Amino acid sequence: AQAALHDGAGVNLGGGTHHAFADAGKGFCTFNDVVVATRRLRADGRARRVLVIDLDPGGPNSKPLYLINPRIVEASGELAPYHEGCLSVPEVWDDVRRPAKVTVEYMDEKGRTQRVSADGLFATCLQHEIDHINGLLFIDHLSKLKRSIALRKSAKLKRRG
């Protein structure tokens, strides 16, 4: 389903369209049935951070949103918990408290600066994936004890293979 959803999608990163998402089997993950992707791409010699979110993959409201170099420009003081997991830390799930509402500024696939405001699952997905392209995992938001337990569990599962 992931390949059918994003196969062949092109993103203009300056200097031409790059079919960055043609191989949907790599770099894509499912986050509670939400297809998301993060990539670090090079165009014109500069790194680009690309994120794709679709809140209804394969469904009647499927509409992938492409965000290039996204950054959170506003975040509410109210925090909302969400039970998160990630393919980077297999079989590990925990509650993460993040701002309930965020506004994200990004460049669209045509190179135009855009803003999107989000709450609920959409806000959680944006924050989770922006963290990814900035080198953070959801477990980095956990207490030291919970993070340590999560890393041990993940390492044990990887050894089992």
**How far apart, in whole angstroms, are the C-alpha atoms of residue 51 and residue 35?**
10
Helices (H), the chain: 2-6, 120-133, 144-160
**Catalytic pick among 74, 84, 91, 129:** 129
Residue 110 near residue 10 (C-beta atoms within 8 A): no
At residue 24, what are phi and psi to the nearest 5 degrees?
-70, -10
Question: Has 91 been annotated as catalytic?
Answer: no
Candidates 150, 146, 61, 72; CA nearest to 104 is 72
- Nearest 5°: the CA angle 128, 9, 127 is 10
At residue 26, what are phi and psi to the nearest 5 degrees?
-120, 130
**How far apart, in whole angstroms, are the C-alpha atoms of residue 96 and residue 111?**
33
- Nearest 5°: the CA angle 33, 106, 109 is 80
Residues that are catalytic: 129
